[in-house]
A and B are shown apart, each in its own frame.
Chain A
Amino acid sequence: MKNIFNFSIMLTWLLLVQISCGKETEKPLPEPEPKPSGPTPVQFSKPSYFPAPVYDLSKNPLTEEGIELGRFLFYDGILSRTDNIGCGTCHQQQAAFTHHGHDLSHGVDDKLGTRNSPSVQNMAWNTSFFWDGGVHAMDEVPPVPIQNEVEMGERTANVIEKLKKTPVAGAVKQVDYPKMFKAAFGTDEITADKMMKALSQFMMTMVSATSRYDYHLQGDASALNALEKEGLSVFKQKCSSCHATELFTDHSFRNNGLPPNRINDQGRYAITLNESDRLKFKVPSLRNVGLTAPYMHDGRFTTLEEVLNHYANDNVKPGIHESATLDPLLKTGTKPGIQLNASEKQSIIAFLKTLNDEQFIRDKRFSDPGIGTSL
């Protein structure tokens, strides 16, 4: 009896081994390469003159399907309470992913926010996000506008529930998110972590480095004209301490002398509660600056001329606001500001426009797949 028992265990074991090893004993057939299953990996490429990206791709490797899912999520109004405000509403491609025609963010129910929507470009190099740098990881960026009452006015948890119920029968725009999540992550389970990762994958690909200035950097002598080259030279002397590197920002927070606005926005102070951070805002990149009007954290200036007049402390009333945290770089001369004459301003503006990236704002890979809304 004992032997029979032992023998049956042995048999079961052999059977199990047989099953698990079954494939190996089959004769390999000269078949064509098996179709790759699962998402297709995408190699992240960066311009040689950009620093190493900050985002850790090892925790979220790029795939074609992940990027495509991110693109759909980016444009889909389902992320908002009213189902009609997507990320792409306030980050429009033709304006280098800012909100053309709006000084302050404009969200659900025609509500207005307090700050100007920043450009979504070259996100991979950002050390922090938003005008006050409150958020440190790209994966944690989307919940901020989604859950902001005057922007998208929704709860992330509810977005996940809505995505799970797609495709919605009878909807004009049929998007099957369970299917897209399955293609991107191998499981049709929809989670917030995966949603944020897909959005990050898409935003990682949004690299702007095909402006005329980039061609100049790559050795095309005719890419910039004489005025633009003159502007580049003045820019390097007078602006590049803050708008540093080929990303045109040093990622710091500075008080550039703007008088506090009506709501008395204290900028980074609200994040750190540190007196030395009062009225400081992030130095934005100047890539595509010619396309992203209006300017400053509250969109108070509509033209680059006004911006330069502010820094030169000319013809703008009120001028540079002298407070305790005013940036030391604006206190080097006899009066606060940067010494700039009329022709210098003109050449700088000419140079700044060479940072417009026409290819970036037309690139089909970043465009609305036909589900977006704009207000």
Chain B
Amino acid sequence: MKRYSSIAASFVFAALALLQFSCSDNDPQVETGSIVVNFDNMVGDANLALNSGTYINAAGEDFTVSKLNYYISNIKFTKTDGSSFTVPKDSSYFLVREGNQASQTLRINNVPVGNYAGIEYMIGIDSLKSIEEPENRKGVLDIYTGPTNEEAMYWNWNPGYIFLKIEGASDSSTTANGNYQYHIGGFGGRTGKTLNNIKTAKLNFGSQTVAVTTAAVTTTSAPQIYIKADILKIFDGPTKLRIAEKSGVMFEPFSANIADNYANMFSVKEVRNN
């Protein structure tokens, strides 16, 4: 009986050892927490109201917004000590949709504890992900079903993601029904070099309008970052976008001007450490 129990005990010990081994992938010494990033789509200082609000762009044209979607990906946080944390690639793709409240809150888990001073992210989808097998592009990247498909954030005839899509109506529009549509994408080309509209936003939490300038990640509290996306900037930047001149822009060279504009539409509104 004693022999049996010692064999059993060693078996249990071996099993526990195995369990330990299989769980040691993540360095247990790095403590982690979460950061929550909220995107507020705004028009200047006003909240964007889909369909109901009428706005004036930099060229003085009135417009409404019926749809606003954009991809945020490849997120990286920089610490106050100058080091940084890059969110693991496959946990780093988000589709922000004005028509979907939940999509505007990005919860990033497994962030090493520490004080963070800024955030960097891509507006759009990187080229490597864009050419991966469809089986490896799920969730918000699913090209057949899911939000990508519902919102048509993918050009299947010239495969690639639409990075930012804004649609609405304007008295200045030259289309038959008075609508305007800007669908901006282009990851640089698969077989040859072509349009590359991938843009990166780099935001510092210590900007002048922010009271709290550091996001403190601990194991128990997740800081909240509020980012303002001012859609007026889509029309105003290096190029003044006139709906009367360009009522529809999709995969064409002019789209680079719109991407240059919207690359500057993000700013940090508030940082909250709870």
Chain A residues engaging chain B, CB cutoff 8 angstroms: 2-3, 6-7, 9-10, 13, 59, 130, 132, 134-136, 139-140, 143-144, 147-148, 155-157, 160, 191-193, 196, 270-274
The residue among A143, A160, A191 with the most chain B CB atoms within 10 A of its own CB is A143
Inter-chain contacts of B252 with A (CB < 8 A): 273
Let me know if B5 and A2 touch, CB within 8 A: yes
**A-B interface, 3 closest residue pairs, ranked by CB to CB distance from nearest:** A192-B144, A6-B5, A6-B8
Minimal Cβ-Cβ distance residue in B for A141: B156
Known: A157-B145, A157-B150. A3 touches B157 (CB 8 A): no
B159 within 8 A of A: yes
B58 within 8 A of A: no
Inter-chain contacts of A156 with B (CB < 8 A): 144-145, 149
Query: Which residue of B5, B149, B191, B251 contacts A157 across the interface (Cβ within 8 Å)?
Result: B149
Known: A155-B150, A272-B189, A273-B252. A143 touches B4 (CB 8 A): no
B88 within 8 A of A: no
A170, B142: Cα distance in complex, Å:
33
Let me know if A273 and B1 touch, CB within 8 A: no
Inter-chain contacts of A157 with B (CB < 8 A): 144-146, 149-150
Min CB–CB distance A35 → chain B (angstroms):
31
The residue among B133, B149, B156 with the most chain A CB atoms within 10 A of its own CB is B156
Known: A13-B11, A140-B156, A273-B252. A7 touches B1 (CB 8 A): yes
| Interface magnitude class on chain B | 20 to 34
Min CB–CB distance A245 → chain B (angstroms):
20
Query: Which residue of B8, B135, B145, B253 contacts A7 across the interface (Cβ within 8 Å)?
Result: B8
Extra pairs beyond A9-B11, A10-B11 (12, CB < 8 Å): A3-B4, A10-B4, A134-B158, A134-B159, A135-B157, A136-B159, A191-B145, A192-B144, A193-B134, A193-B135, A270-B158, A273-B195
Known: A157-B144, A272-B192. A143 touches B156 (CB 8 A): yes
A59, B133: Cα distance in complex, Å:
11
Min CB–CB distance A79 → chain B (angstroms):
13
Known: A9-B11, A13-B11. A193 touches B194 (CB 8 A): no
Inter-chain contacts of B143 with A (CB < 8 A): 140, 143
Secondary structure of the A contact surface, majority rule: helix
Let me know if A7 and B4 touch, CB within 8 A: yes
Inter-chain contacts of A272 with B (CB < 8 A): 189, 192, 194
Min CB–CB distance B148 → chain A (angstroms):
9
B7 within 8 A of A: yes
Minimal Cβ-Cβ distance residue in A for B192: A272
Query: Which residue of B149, B150, B191 contacts A136 across the interface (Cβ within 8 Å)?
Result: B191
Minimal Cβ-Cβ distance residue in A for B149: A157
Let me know if B253 and A273 touch, CB within 8 A: yes
Inter-chain contacts of B194 with A (CB < 8 A): 271-274
Min CB–CB distance B142 → chain A (angstroms):
8
Q: Mark B1-14, 1 if CB is under 8 A from A, else 0.
A: 11011111101100
Chain B residues engaging chain A, CB cutoff 8 angstroms: 1-2, 4-9, 11-12, 133-135, 142-146, 149-150, 152, 156-159, 189-192, 194-195, 251-253
Inter-chain contacts of A140 with B (CB < 8 A): 134, 143, 156, 159
Inter-chain contacts of A147 with B (CB < 8 A): 152, 156
Inter-chain contacts of A274 with B (CB < 8 A): 192, 194
Inter-chain contacts of B12 with A (CB < 8 A): 6, 9
A192, B145: Cα distance in complex, Å:
7
Let me know if A10 and B146 touch, CB within 8 A: no
Min CB–CB distance A154 → chain B (angstroms):
11
A126, B9: Cα distance in complex, Å:
62
A272, B194: Cα distance in complex, Å:
6
Known: A140-B134, A147-B156, A273-B194. A3 touches B11 (CB 8 A): no
Inter-chain contacts of A271 with B (CB < 8 A): 158, 194
Min CB–CB distance B1 → chain A (angstroms):
6
Let me know if B157 and A136 touch, CB within 8 A: no
Inter-chain contacts of A155 with B (CB < 8 A): 149-150
A157, B12: Cα distance in complex, Å:
48
Inter-chain contacts of A13 with B (CB < 8 A): 8, 11
A147, B11: Cα distance in complex, Å:
58
Inter-chain contacts of A144 with B (CB < 8 A): 156-157
Let me know if A270 and B156 touch, CB within 8 A: no
Minimal Cβ-Cβ distance residue in B for A140: B159
A270, B2: Cα distance in complex, Å:
80
Inter-chain contacts of A193 with B (CB < 8 A): 134-135, 144
A134, B60: Cα distance in complex, Å:
38
Show 10 A/B contacts (Cβ-Cβ < 8 Å), sorted by A: A6-B12, A7-B5, A134-B159, A144-B156, A148-B157, A155-B149, A157-B149, A271-B194, A273-B251, A274-B194
Minimal Cβ-Cβ distance residue in A for B250: A270
Minimal Cβ-Cβ distance residue in A for B253: A273
Minimal Cβ-Cβ distance residue in A for B142: A192
Minimal Cβ-Cβ distance residue in A for B135: A193
A274, B194: Cα distance in complex, Å:
7
Minimal Cβ-Cβ distance residue in B for A136: B190
Minimal Cβ-Cβ distance residue in B for A156: B144
